Amino acid sequence: MKNTALITGASSGIGLELARIHAEKGGNLVLVARSTDKLEELKYELEKKHGISVYIIGKDLSKPNAAIEVYAEIKQQDITIDFLINNAGFGDSGLFFDSAWEKQEQMINLNILTLTHFTRLFLKDMVERKNGKILNIASTAAFQPGPTMAVYCATKSYVLSFSEAINNEVKEFGVTVTALCPGATTSGFQAAASLQGSNLFEGKKLPTSMDVAKYGYKAMIKGKKVVIHGLMNRIMANSIRFIPRLLVIKVTRMILEKKN
């Protein structure tokens, strides 16, 4: 029997590569993103290349009730979700007091509320079947406060904490929840978050979206709890607990700010 994976934010970046990886392994897909045109292209590519089934749903997941609407449509189609991959999310850069509230609200809705609602909806089904895997995309931003990206870092800290707690709750039922924490990656994220020219990206040789997707998919299959992509990212994330908090915040701001 083919495993079916639901992937949010599947039209680009890590989500798109996760879809390609799952399809290559012979699994069916449910792909959700705002861009229906991009999903149609990906559906054609994967079905033709791998002979699998791809069901697409065009949806803005930052909108209220988006998760329950997607869940209801999947139920109506009689599709069982074996793997839930909560990849959809975005960031924003700048001083919080000077930011557009609408964008911050959308970020909280997408990065936290929708992810949590999807997890709640599909987790109950997985627990009843005593089988299933969830991959939540967090970030190395989850390990420290991030001046100039305050809301984004806070949302990813939530994803990490939430995923660890839920994994503990459901592992006895044969279900696992994995938090994937990538660092800076070559994807569309930096443009969407207005991070071009920041110390985080400028002049760095970064992993590709496929590098991160392969690492995260493998960790999900193994049922790992938390995985941080990249040796230096792992060292930094784990060393933060030994560094004074004020210094961590100061250095983080230096990294996130744009070069003059």
Of 44, 152, 158, 217, the catalytic one is 152
Q: What is the DSSP string of 187-245?
A: SSHHHHTT-TTBTTTTT----BHHHHHHHHHHHHHHT-SEEE-SHHHHHHHHHGGGS-H
Pair of tokens at residue 95: 């001083």
- CA neighbours closer than 13 Å in the CB half-sphere of residue 96: 13
Q: How does pLDDT run across 41-94, given as a tens digit for each residue?
A: 999 999 999 999 999 999 999 999 999 999 999 999 999 999 999 999 999 999
Assign 248 a pLDDT band (cuts: 50, 70, 90). confident
| Residue ranges of E strands in the chain | 4-8, 28-33, 54-58, 83-86, 132-137, 175-181, 226-228
At residue 193, the pLDDT reads: 46
pTM score, two decimals? 0.90
Q: Which of 107-116, 187-196, 203-212 is the least confident region?
A: 187-196
Can you say whether residue 41 is alpha, beta or left, with left for phi > 0 and alpha for psi between -120 and 50 degrees?
A: alpha
Catalytic status, residue 158 = no
CATH topology of domain 4-256: Rossmann fold (3.40.50)
Q: How does pLDDT run across 88-100, given as a tens digit for each residue?
A: 999 999 999 999 9
Q: So where are the chain's domains?
A: 4-256
34 secondary structure, DSSP code: S
201 versus 237: which is more confidently predicted?
Answer: 237
Pair of tokens at residue 22: 């799952």
Place of tokens 């990212």: 233
Average pLDDT, stretch 18-37?
97
At residue 82, the pLDDT reads: 98
Q: How does pLDDT run across 131-150, given as a tens digit for each residue?
A: 999 999 999 999 999 999 99
B/e letters for 185-210, b = 16+ CB within 10 Å, e = fewer, are bbbebbeebebeebbbbeeeebbebb
